[in-house]
Amino acid sequence: MQKLIIKGNRKLSGTVLISGSKNATLPILTATILTNKKIILKNVPIVKDVETMVNLLKAMGSLIKFDKKNKKIEILNKKKLRTLAPYNLLKTMRAGVLVLGSLLAKYGNAKVSLPGGCAIGSRPIDLHLRALKKMGAKIKIKNGYIVASVKKNLIGTNIRFPKISVGATENILIASCFAQGETKLRNCSIEPEVKDLVIFLKKIGCKIKWVGKRGLNIIGVKNFKSASHKIIFDRIEAGTYIIASAITKGSLKIKNIEPKYIYTEISLLRKMGINIKQKKGYIIVQNPKKIKKINLATKPYPGFPTDLQAQIMTLMTQAEGVSLIKENIFENRFMHVSELRRMGANIDISGNEAKIYGKNKLNGAELMATDLRASVSLVLAGLAANGKTIINRIYHLDRGYEKIENKLSKCGAFIKRIANDQR
């Protein structure tokens, strides 16, 4: 086990290169199961969740070259893949369940461990299973596994998701590409990561059409093409570094992004007094004169993302006045609050609402990370705090942030990774 040591109260200054999106890479990797042709993925983030997904595909029989130096993955499925996704590879990663749709569609059966990942609520997969059953699948849960089969092919049908779900949209979209006939999906997620998946699927020969704002029509095909695809930037990582610049009253140039995909986040942070200059392919965040209070609610895209909620809460502790957050996506996503309180933050929780009292000076403390986004909010707090902060269980952080201590160190932060037995 490793931990991070941060000595805070230092202004960040410099340039940060944003990595490819973890949340775009994972579903695209599972979609490669559909094709026997060579696939090249570029701008792949070197994070633990991607490594886990690569190991899962290898375990099922995919031939994979992972060039970490050049952030490139080459995949070739020469022979029939094994249709088992075991617990030991899925226990840390929610996205592993996305192999269910592609395996079931292509091979007619799948045995997939119920997923793990962050402990931020129940995150049920009933939407996935309900949709696959409507397409003709027989599904049962046995000994912690989803056991699914279909007689011949999944059959295209009309599916309206009862609520917007990124994972369900991705899983059923991928499955529909190999199903017989036409599938019409409604009330779909429209996150940039979902749209990146659609772009990739079209490249390999899938027939997909956007209908209205949240509709997808898919005609199943059996023959797929080789393709090369560049993964979009990680908008959550970008948002995190914008907040890092603001909370340290620093100045950062944030590159390798497309600002239009984080329009909501930029607009809201500007309302908080953060000076953000938008350019083509990058933004510049400059020292805010003061940080203003704000009220926000997390919502599906294009609303404010739940994956940035913990980070912006940390920023709110330094704002003038009282800010409010309503968490609408996950019911247990305030697990970072108790750790922020240990640093001096004044935060009240009532159900899915948080009241954050600003202008609270944070002090360094020894902390415990509970999930991916909570762990990075503690890093942000450590950067702004007086004294030394120690963050334990940083394996959560490594699931979604590429070399965060290196990127921050280059911009003037004192942050280093050490073994647990070091101080």
Report angle CA 174, 57, 218 to the nearest 5 degrees.
10
From 394, 423, 374, 400, select the one nearest 25 (Cα to Cα). Answer: 400
Residue 176 near residue 183 (C-beta atoms within 8 A): yes
Residue 13 near residue 411 (C-beta atoms within 8 A): yes
**118 has catalytic annotation:** yes
From 193, 239, 190, 192, select the one nearest 373 (Cα to Cα). Answer: 239
* Angstrom distance (rounded) from CA 187 to CA 75: 32
- H or E segment to which residue 357 belongs: strand 353-357
Which residues are bridge partners to 349 per DSSP? 354
Look at strands 13-17 and 63-67 and give their pairing.
unpaired
Give the three-class secondary structure for 126.
helix
* Angstrom distance (rounded) from CA 414 to CA 177: 48
287: number of CA atoms within 13 Å, CB side? 8
* Angstrom distance (rounded) from CA 102 to CA 368: 37
First to last CA, the chain: 13
For 334, list phi and psi in degrees, rounded to 5: -115, 25
Which one from 118, 188, 206, 411 is the annotated catalytic residue? 118
Catalytic residues: 118
